[in-house]
Structure 1
């Protein structure tokens, strides 16, 4: 974290940046109109994001402030000043300072961002005193958040609220404070590390998607300019001083012209039409697009907004708001004339062609379909060699965000999925407790506990006397990741009707979501006579996807072996990380055909499922891959009931329902 008063570094000049036109334009428009609403920069590392933000601050002129005001209030704008500055009136002294730039770290707590109770002043005077947070320090300046998608959602929400309204309202620890917080919010993120909630994403006015320069000449220019700057910063700044001054003058001229820009009715209609075609949610996009177009017109020196101004800025306004149009309803195809009884499970396996990784059918011996051959191998008891086929991964789908309930246990770790109690001081303060374990003082609750007894205690010149029994500590909560174990049926029956293709697509969707939420994942596959740990617990989505793509199908269904292997893996992980929240996801039709001890395969699987519920007491989900027809047995539903798990059908693998069920299980 750095503020403008501490910043002594030599800043690379904004005018010397090469490329990244959208990034530069978006920042310059916010310099002209700080009330635009903030900018999100999505893209690769090393693309001058931080350099551009710091360079923008250098372009902004020094500002006059009320001397000693922690919020840098403008002495000429009493309407937006804090309460003390408004009370002081004309007696206020004026000072000059550069525009503050606050770099907000991902580890910042809510107390530090919004402000908190001043412990020292409270103890000395006996009155509640407020210490401004980073939003107060950044008033009339810039807040820059690198990797904003990794910041806690409630802090992002507070930042966006203040950035839009220009006011920070603090109601906490027995204090009520409202102070100005008009700042430009700039956030950067790498989409591969996960996205921001759509509700928060929509609050950013502009969004720029940037990549490294593809033009070799531009890359050479970047290298040369940066090398010159590093070797002789003073000479480089002198070389670009004229260009920098031109930008400052253009920003000042655009600020003056901004209130004078006129908007015709045809422009309003054009904006509404663009937003409707983009299928945006709500009307914020329309309002922001108009505001951005007016600012762009002022930047270009136009007296009125033109359709060209709207068209040029629309991509940055709609980039993060655009949605897919709803799909038209499709009528069910007419049944063939000879349609009879629904196909049985065996018919599906005999008729469905197997798929290779390129999604083409692969013929078996003597022209038989691989699914038919695999079923024959299963019925023959393994007397014939089992033909294994590798299926392609189905199309992954978007995962809905469903907030799980708070966990009652105290857990450690980091992540972005489950909200749980924590014994660290990095979480969010939710309530106070009498237990004194972590040396995390809850000052507000301590003062309230001591207040009724002050008349009976000896003051000895102190405004407040606190005894040992008054002390309260903060109870905090934070988000952590989970351990998700996939147990996948890879027997021959999974080849019918592209079941494995759809199953792999659903697993990949959950793997991507787990990666974004900082979960650890593992995968077990069972086929033939044994179960194998294909993917040990990892955070790497690349390894998980590779193991998934290479997973073959064929042979019997050793369901018990898969469940036993799952119990072993979960026990090992709980020994290493007792605070972890595991969830087991079983994808199978439940038709066990191979036993470990030589008895009934299905009875053995039922006993193992009961052991999982009794011994592990973890969240479980069963995905039934059986096609529903007149001969459906419902064995997977029965196993799910024994395990105390939720159960969904194979059809739900194509929708967001599976992900929603997983998230619901994480809350149990």
Structure 2
């Protein structure tokens, strides 16, 4: 049999990984159908496509036709989730009739949340509260995450309560036909899995692994333990073993050991540390103090003859040598410090356009009109009282019943409700580039590449990019704010370079452009690429001391405006002048000995997405 080439071996590895991921996805369906609300739900990382539709259809078939399958539409309001007033039934019966919310309909079934990475944090908190405090038996949450690699995932409030994670992005269609399909029929909830026990040493190993991988939430450990018990019950056992724990780590966190090279005969004969050994034996074979794990259990059990896999995995996690699936990163569960999902830029509330996020009593702007449905809902509970009052006033004024008009609804000004809108303002990255000196061509070349890469990613978010280059005695706006990649490439084709360094003029031009961008409703992000050696004053005279004073005043003004600023030191060696400039600006300092386009583009793109927070 001929040996596979490097390309063929890589393709074979991708194909094998896709088959493994699909097998894990089918196993996750079985666990979801048995555990139901006890394991929270599923974080499904998948873009729209046939593989995702097939997975959801198989999950729905396994849950059964009697299981409610409720969908949470994007842009839903609080009334959709918790239920509001049914206007049609209220007007027909003359009394307040409440309609059932989506959370109540999902009880005993599944709640499907498409585009969960864009779910409003307030609605995510409401869903999380319903998961923690169910009305009856609870419901299963299926959160579909369609975010890209550089975008923020689902909210921490929601992701922290979902035990299983399945990523379908690395699965091709032929992988779905090469593995056996899920069993036909409904999987009934069997509470017998709760009788499955887990050993203390496995519990300690799970706690150590989850903590070492950066997950400090106690819910993560609970998810791992329940998943391991479900796996043991699925295999017909009443006690978990090491294999169940390893699979639970893969399904919940995406952790798996990399293929290890074959050990030499001398190393193979040497016994390694074992968490199952007797305490006395473990003490004799314990590794040096700097390699000892503090959480290493030492309960007396049967002593295996090879290195314990959990101990190896724990050491790999703490050493940073643990690999994750290419499509399931090392459990990138959302954390409280994670950025918000969606388009970058500051959130504008009480706007004239955008998505609704609440109901207010006061008009958000002078031309706002009351929302008819919300106003009628506010007036519905008082209809009987107002009708009786109107009838009493008519009798007191001796108005004949035939002359008295009876309106279909009694609405007062206090009932007026206004829909509040908000939208995420776009961001504008303003590159202020030092085009002076002998390295100007290299800096400008990398800046051109960074702008082109950034524009390709910012087009979808409607973000813009601008370029200011300073050289000689002044600064020049070479590229006005634009999101046109074609226009940017045409204007960036030939940029001048060389000469003295008017750093103060460049910062002044960037500040003026940032103020103009802010007045247009966008969120400016200043990106200053310099070596910090300004020697030209604002009037063009070569005065280093005066230039330093002017630069200090401009930096203080920029810091007072609270613009998001990035200062990149592109000198061949880091300089204190750039560090001092970043402190005066209140900017994020980054030292790049080689300001390559990819690193600069990624850095600025991440800052633009964080600008909305």
Deviations 1:119-160 (A, max 9, x none): 344556675442222222222222223332122222233223
In 2: Cα distance, 1:451 partner to 1:628 partner: 77
1:457 counterpart (390, 403, 410): 390
Give the corresponding residue for 1:470.
414
Give the corresponding residue for 1:85.
none
Which moves more between the two structures, 143-152 or 271-280?
271-280
Change in Cα spacing, 1:106 to 1:663, as seen in structure 2 (3 Å) is closer
Deviations 1:400-456 (A, max 9, x none): 54789xxxxxxxx96675252233473211532156723424436556899997764
Partner of 1:140, secondary structure, is: coil
Unaligned ranges ≥5, structure 2:
1-18, 258-289, 291-334, 393-403, 594-598
In 2: Cα distance, 1:195 partner to 1:628 partner: 37
Give the corresponding residue for 1:236.
none
Give the corresponding residue for 1:196.
154
Partner of 2:153, secondary structure, is: coil
Give the corresponding residue for 2:28.
26
In 1: Cα distance, 2:541 partner to 2:83 partner: 66
Residue 38 of structure 1 contacts residue 163 of structure 1 at CA under 8 Å; is this kept in 2?
A: no
Change in Cα spacing, 1:421 to 1:137, as seen in structure 2 (3 Å) is same
TM-score normalised to structure 2 length: 0.60
- The reply on whether 1:308 has 2:253 as its aligned counterpart is no
Change in Cα spacing, 1:165 to 1:115, as seen in structure 2 (3 Å) is same
Give the corresponding residue for 2:482.
537
Give the corresponding residue for 1:52.
55
Change in Cα spacing, 1:457 to 1:651, as seen in structure 2 (3 Å) is farther
- The reply on whether 1:205 has 2:208 as its aligned counterpart is no
- The reply on whether 1:40 has 2:43 as its aligned counterpart is yes
Residue 354 of structure 2 contacts residue 423 of structure 2 at CA under 8 Å; is this kept in 1?
A: no
In 1: Cα distance, 2:562 partner to 2:368 partner: 30
1:649 deviates by 5.2
Change in Cα spacing, 1:22 to 1:39, as seen in structure 2 (3 Å) is same
1:248 counterpart (154, 175, 185): 185
1:287 deviates by 0.7
1:205 deviates by 1.0
2:71 counterpart (93, 103, 110): 103
In 2: Cα distance, 1:527 partner to 1:205 partner: 53
2:424 counterpart (460, 465, 480): 480
In 2: Cα distance, 1:213 partner to 1:632 partner: 47
Partner of 1:131, secondary structure, is: coil
In 2: Cα distance, 1:481 partner to 1:421 partner: 13
In 1: Cα distance, 2:252 partner to 2:430 partner: 40
Alignment of 1:148-297 (within 5 A): 148-167=116-135, 182-192=139-149, 193-213=151-171, 218=175, 221=177, 246-248=183-185, 251-252=187-188, 255=190, 257-297=192-232
Change in Cα spacing, 1:184 to 1:650, as seen in structure 2 (3 Å) is closer
Residue 345 of structure 2 contacts residue 608 of structure 2 at CA under 8 Å; is this kept in 1?
A: no
Alignment of 1:613-624 (within 5 A): 620-623=563-566
In 1: Cα distance, 2:469 partner to 2:500 partner: 9
Alignment of 1:615-634 (within 5 A): 620-623=563-566
1:140 counterpart (97, 101, 108): 108
Deviations 1:474-517 (A, max 9, x none): 25253513323323232457979xx979x98xx99x969x9699
Deviations 1:180-230 (A, max 9, x none): 75234242323334322445432221112233446x9648x58xx9xxxxx
Partner of 1:428, secondary structure, is: strand
In 2: Cα distance, 1:433 partner to 1:531 partner: 46
In 2: Cα distance, 1:596 partner to 1:448 partner: 68
Give the corresponding residue for 1:420.
349
Partner of 1:262, secondary structure, is: coil
Change in Cα spacing, 1:581 to 1:622, as seen in structure 2 (3 Å) is closer
In 1: Cα distance, 2:495 partner to 2:196 partner: 62
Residue 21 of structure 2 contacts residue 168 of structure 2 at CA under 8 Å; is this kept in 1?
A: no
Residue 31 of structure 2 contacts residue 230 of structure 2 at CA under 8 Å; is this kept in 1?
A: yes
Residue 648 of structure 1 contacts residue 658 of structure 1 at CA under 8 Å; is this kept in 2?
A: no
Aligned length: 482
1:288 deviates by 0.7
Residue 84 of structure 2 contacts residue 98 of structure 2 at CA under 8 Å; is this kept in 1?
A: yes
Partner of 1:185, secondary structure, is: strand
In 2: Cα distance, 1:559 partner to 1:584 partner: 14
1:34 deviates by 0.7
Change in Cα spacing, 1:276 to 1:485, as seen in structure 2 (3 Å) is closer
Partner of 1:33, secondary structure, is: helix
Residue 124 of structure 1 contacts residue 463 of structure 1 at CA under 8 Å; is this kept in 2?
A: no
Change in Cα spacing, 1:284 to 1:256, as seen in structure 2 (3 Å) is closer
Residue 468 of structure 2 contacts residue 510 of structure 2 at CA under 8 Å; is this kept in 1?
A: no
Partner of 1:526, secondary structure, is: strand
Change in Cα spacing, 1:270 to 1:258, as seen in structure 2 (3 Å) is same
Deviations 1:562-588 (A, max 9, x none): 45765786688679xx44444545455
In 2: Cα distance, 1:538 partner to 1:454 partner: 58
Partner of 1:105, secondary structure, is: coil
In 1: Cα distance, 2:488 partner to 2:552 partner: 25
Give the corresponding residue for 2:86.
118
Alignment of 1:255-654 (within 5 A): 255=190, 257-319=192-254, 400-401=337-338, 417-418=346-347, 420-424=349-353, 426-429=355-358, 431-433=360-362, 437-441=368-372, 442-443=374-375, 456-458=389-391, 466-492=410-436, 518=461, 520-529=463-472, 530-533=475-478, 536-538=481-483, 555-559=499-503, 562=506, 566=510, 578-588=520-530, 592-593=534-535, 598-599=540-541, 620-623=563-566, 646-647=586-587
Which moves more between the two structures, 104-113 or 617-626?
617-626
1:314 deviates by 1.4
Change in Cα spacing, 1:47 to 1:310, as seen in structure 2 (3 Å) is farther
In 2: Cα distance, 1:543 partner to 1:164 partner: 52
In 2: Cα distance, 1:181 partner to 1:286 partner: 21
In 1: Cα distance, 2:336 partner to 2:592 partner: 13
In 1: Cα distance, 2:84 partner to 2:22 partner: 39
In 1: Cα distance, 2:424 partner to 2:543 partner: 38
